[in-house]
Amino acid sequence: MSTPTTAAPGAPVVDFDLAQLRRDPYPAYAELRRTAPLAWVPSVGRHLLTRYGDIVHAEKLPEVFSSREQGSLLLRTVGPNLLREDGAEHRLLRAGAEPPTRPRQVRDLWADAFEKNAHDLLERIAGRGEADLVADFAEPLAAANLALVLGLRNATADDIAEWSRAMMAANGNYADDPDVWLRAERATDAIEEAVAEIAGAVRREPDGSVISSMVHADMALSAIQNNVKVVIGGGVNEPRDVFGVGAQALLNRPDVRDRVLADPSLWKRVFEETARWVSPIGMYPRQLVQDHEIAGVALPAGSRVALVIASGNRDESVFERADEFDIDRPHRPHLAFGGGPHFCMGAWVARHEVSGLAWPLVFSRLKGLRLDDGTEDHMEGWVFRGLTSLHVTWQAA
């Protein structure tokens, strides 16, 4: 299969400055949805698919829109993995890795430890009266919880967080920065070493973790290592970024915050609306294995396409006032966790640790919590998007 490196015949060509996309991609996405729902973007080297319905259509056709993209940044970063497989190979890998992340296992195996991690982190900062809730709470919580679920008891939360940042930067390295590749290589080497050690231990004594599940599914060590790399990437940035964006949204909307605090059942709505409003994963690649027409363009086999789920989640034809944060909007399935066979394996872990634990604990424990007026927190990213910091103050006990 050849890989076209230019626009498909008839596809509009629209270029964007990647720096501007990192600052705020949503105006560009809105323009694409209006005028060119499938457009070739030279700076990204692929066609961007931006309307909700077209993205859902593509997700339902993995036999056409293949995850096995040639030259994938993810493949370059972590090697062959379940996110870049389809069909029987994907099902086999997922069956080995997924069981410890299912809702019942999250409740029975991990919930108590997740809660302890959250309390421990809050205890460290509660007396200070100020913190960056991304760096001081959300990221270390997601990393510590992920270490538990994976079974990486030989890695610290700081290790997990740094490895995740390094690999996520490489997965979005469309600018081909050599320093980004070097940092990612160091991270993946460290992960391979840590996983090899744990794999030997859990082969003798299973512990219910993801690594243990994969070992006892008789997966090859290299496959286990590569798939742990993938999980470390999304398993930190997704819950961290949903936590930060949602917490900031509530702190900017005291009326909504007060409603949620009075009715904790609303935390689930806050989670789903936050993930829709600012999708922590903004896009992922697909490559056509046969000719296919979509969004009015006939794409030849080999065409590279990005499913821009961040854009689909702001599609005005599906979500009224799509640019607004509204926990009362009528329910429509968002795309933040993907769809089809590749629906995010860690979705239930993220939902529990953020809406079931982290937000309720933070907002109840830190009295008088408010944004720090003396600092400005920035949202950035388009392949992956979230707050780089969330500075807050409260009444220290």
Q: List pLDDT tens digits, range 338-347.
A: 877 767 778 8
Divide the 397 residues of the chain into consecutive groups of 10 and give the mean pLDDT of each group.
Answer: 70 92 95 97 94 96 88 77 72 82 89 96 96 97 95 96 90 85 94 96 94 94 92 89 98 97 97 97 93 96 96 97 97 88 80 96 96 93 94 91
Local structure of residue 384 (DSSP, 8 states): B
Q: What is the pLDDT of residue 90?
A: 73
Q: What is the pLDDT of residue 78?
A: 78
Structural class in CATH, domain 18-393: mainly alpha
Q: Which two tokens stand for residue 254?
A: 């005291």
Residues 6+ apart with CB under 8 A from 239: 138, 141, 142, 145, 349, 350, 353, 354, 358
Local structure of residue 345 (DSSP, 8 states): T
Q: Which CA distances in Å does 269 have to 143, 246, 281, 320?
A: 24, 11, 19, 16
User: What gap in Å lies between CA 202 and CA 209, rounded to an integer?
Assistant: 9
- pTM of the entire predicted model: 0.92
Q: What is the pairing mode between strands 391-393 and 130-132?
A: antiparallel
Amino acid at 131: A
Q: What is the pLDDT of residue 114?
A: 95
Q: List pLDDT tens digits, range 123-145.
A: 999 999 999 999 999 999 999 99
